[in-house]
A and B are shown apart, each in its own frame.
Chain A
Amino acid sequence: DAGVIQSPRHEVTEMGQEVTLRCKPISGHDYLFWYRQTMMRGLELLIYFNNNVPIDDSGMPEDRFSAKMPNASFSTLKIQPSEPRDSAVYFCASSSIEGANVLTFGAGSRLTVL
Chain B
Amino acid sequence: GNSVTQMEGPVTLSEEAFLTINCTYTATGYPSLFWYVQYPGEGLQLLLKATKADDKGSNKGFEATYRKETTSFHLEKGSVQVSDSAVYFCALSDAGGTSYGKLTFGQGTILTVHP
A43 engages B89 (CB within 8 Å): yes
Residue from B98, B103, B107 within 8 A of A101 (CB atoms): B103
A95: Cβ under 8 A from any B Cβ: yes
B101 engages A95 (CB within 8 Å): yes
A49 CB to closest chain B CB (Å) equals 10
Known contacts A33-B102, A43-B107, A93-B44; 8 additional CB pairs below 8 A are: A42-B108, A45-B103, A48-B101, A56-B99, A95-B101, A100-B51, A105-B43, A107-B41
Please tell me the number of chain A residues within 8 Å of chain B, measured between CB atoms. Answer: 23
CB-CB < 8 A to B102: which residues of A? 33, 45, 48, 55-56
With known contacts A42-B107, A42-B108, A43-B89, A101–B43 Cβ distance under 8 A = no
Kindly report which residue of chain B lies nearest to residue A102, judged by CB atoms.
B46
What is the 8 Å Cβ interface bit string for chain A, positions 94-110, against chain B (1 contact, 0 not)?
01010011111111100
B105: Cβ under 8 A from any A Cβ: yes
A91 engages B103 (CB within 8 Å): no
Please tell me the number of chain B residues within 8 Å of chain A, measured between CB atoms. Answer: 22
Q: Report the tally of A-B residue pairs with Cβ distances under 8 A.
A: 56
A interface, CB within 8 angstroms of B: 4, 31, 33, 42-43, 45, 48, 50, 55-56, 91, 93, 95, 97, 100-108
Secondary structure call for the B interface: mixed
Closest 4 CB pairs of A and B: A105-B43, A31-B101, A101-B93, A42-B107
CA of A102 to CA of B45, assembled, Å: 9
